[in-house]
Structure 1
Amino acid sequence: MNYSKLSKTKLFKGMEENDIERLLYGCSLVQKSFEKDEIIAFEGDECTSIGLILDGMVDIKKASASGKEYTITTLLPGDTFGEAVVFSSSNFFPAMVVAKCNTTILFIPKEAIINMSKKCERFLHNYLNILSDRILLLNSKLKESTLITLRQKICNFLLEEFKKQKSLKIKLSLSKQELAEKFNVQRPSLSRELIKMREEGLIDFWGKEIWIKNLERIEDCLYEIH
């Protein structure tokens, strides 16, 4: 077990390698590797442990009634999944978990989480912090779902990234296809709307960067009535 790598994750943040080793001693952990596009968990599968991403990336996907898949979010090394579901009265995955590339996951069972929380206040704090962040993310997703037009969704995304990156030049971590899936539209529809916004002087874009040209008008878009 690479305890140095674990100490850099959100779950074991602020803990020394020796403390992590002692904390994990006797726990029934399972480390598994997955190839690109391999399904880690199906929607509806029972969740009995949380997954900690050691290497690679994971997509959380949802299928529409027509069978088309949409990427809800992408998780990076150090992120976890299943942390809320595992303690739910209905502990079944609400979405599909898929390896975005060759990925290594450390699975930590529910019983081990309970025991480690009793033994280590720092671990409990980190776990609750992850849960709190997940709730904030869900609230953000709920806000996105109330936005009516594609332009509103784009403007909301740009404003959120502006706050995170503290720059009018937004560097995209998603491809145009992934961004279209996030907005639940086809890629050509997204491209057309971005071009319209550029022609109106709201934005400019090139490659994986979008420049906010008129911040005030972009903010106004969120409150337009349609």
Structure 2
Amino acid sequence: MKNMIHPIFGSLSEEELEALKMHTRIHEKNIKKNTIIFHFGDLVTETGIVLSGSVHIETTDFWGNTSLLSNVEAGGVFAETYSLCHEPMMVDVAAASDCRILFMDMEFLHDPTLSGYSWHQKMLSNMLSISIRKNLTLSHRIFCTSPKTIRERLLTYLSSQAGKTGSSSFQIPFNRQQMADYLNLDRSALSKELGKMRDEGLIIFHKNQFTLLHPALNESH
């Protein structure tokens, strides 16, 4: 395992990485699509690092309605807050595709006898940076689900994806049901609104590939 495999190990030297591995348990696992990696209510001590594939962070209510909170792709981290705070999981973590996950037990961060080591301080700093970025991801979902109408939510989400990729053409990480879950919308209502937006010349889409258009420019041609 190289120290540049993920930002969670950022700035650690080879010697520091070896010291870290001596004080915690790190292991990799191949996981099949749709497998629940962590369940609601689990007490976990491990943080998951997605090496390949992707996972979904989901919440399901008493009646079985699922909301998709976020998609964690290769390079992303999940369950870091729960593993550090010793709080039961309030979400499910499911494999969105076949994936390979690196699991790291985070108990060492609570060991005061290790606080004087440089690698320990660096890991604390790296975890703080990752948690801040995760908070931004969750804030983005709140921003996308705040508008009252279906179209406003779609425009907000698609515009943000265009801004994120720097292009008016982009792929989203969701199928239609997942997109509806992420935006807290009924799937049929979402599909109907996407069709209207396509007919009005606002978008072109095929599966999860989208292109945003300016109707006024289209009419001029």
Residues 172 and 208 in structure 2, CA contact (< 8 A), matched pair in contact too: yes
What's 1:169 paired with? 169
Aligned residues: 212
Residues 34 and 104 in structure 1, CA contact (< 8 A), matched pair in contact too: yes
1:94-151 Cα distance to aligned partner (Å, 9 max, x none): 1011122333333322322345775324333221110101111222222233221111
Tell me the secondary structure at the aligned position of residue 61 of structure 1: strand
What's 2:88 paired with? 92
What's 1:70 paired with? 67
The 1:56–1:18 alpha-carbon spacing in structure 2 relative to 1, beyond 3 Å, is: farther
Which among 54, 58, 63 is matched to residue 57 of structure 1? 54
1:14-61 Cα distance to aligned partner (Å, 9 max, x none): 444453223222323344443322221111111222222234322211
Q: Displacement, 1:12? A: 1.2
Q: CA RMSD in A?
A: 2.6
Q: 1:8-47 to 2 correspondence within 5 Å?
A: 8-47=5-44
Residues 180 and 186 in structure 1, CA contact (< 8 A), matched pair in contact too: yes
The one-letter code of the counterpart of 1:73 is: S
Distance in structure 2 (CA, Å) of the matches to 1:148 and 1:46? 36
Percent of aligned pairs sharing the same letter = 25
What's 1:187 paired with? 187
Q: What's the TM-score once normalised by structure 2's chain length? A: 0.82
The one-letter code of the counterpart of 1:62 is: T
Q: Which runs of 5+ in 1 are unaligned?
A: 217-226
Q: What's the TM-score once normalised by structure 1's chain length? A: 0.80
Tell me the secondary structure at the aligned position of residue 148 of structure 1: coil
What's 1:104 paired with? 100
Distance in structure 2 (CA, Å) of the matches to 1:215 and 1:124? 49
The 1:113–1:55 alpha-carbon spacing in structure 2 relative to 1, beyond 3 Å, is: farther
The 1:202–1:46 alpha-carbon spacing in structure 2 relative to 1, beyond 3 Å, is: same
What's 1:204 paired with? 204
Distance in structure 1 (CA, Å) of the matches to 2:187 and 2:129? 35
Q: 1:117-128 to 2 correspondence within 5 Å?
A: 119=117, 120=119, 121-128=121-128
The one-letter code of the counterpart of 2:91 is: A
The 1:110–1:15 alpha-carbon spacing in structure 2 relative to 1, beyond 3 Å, is: closer
Residues 69 and 141 in structure 2, CA contact (< 8 A), matched pair in contact too: no
Distance in structure 1 (CA, Å) of the matches to 2:140 and 2:59? 17
The one-letter code of the counterpart of 1:56 is: G
Q: Displacement, 1:76? A: 2.1
1:157-203 Cα distance to aligned partner (Å, 9 max, x none): 11211211111223223222321221223333222101111222322
Residues 25 and 105 in structure 2, CA contact (< 8 A), matched pair in contact too: yes
Distance in structure 1 (CA, Å) of the matches to 2:54 and 2:115? 26
Distance in structure 2 (CA, Å) of the matches to 1:135 and 1:59? 16
The 1:118–1:195 alpha-carbon spacing in structure 2 relative to 1, beyond 3 Å, is: farther
Q: Which runs of 5+ in 2 are unaligned?
A: 217-221
The 1:215–1:114 alpha-carbon spacing in structure 2 relative to 1, beyond 3 Å, is: farther
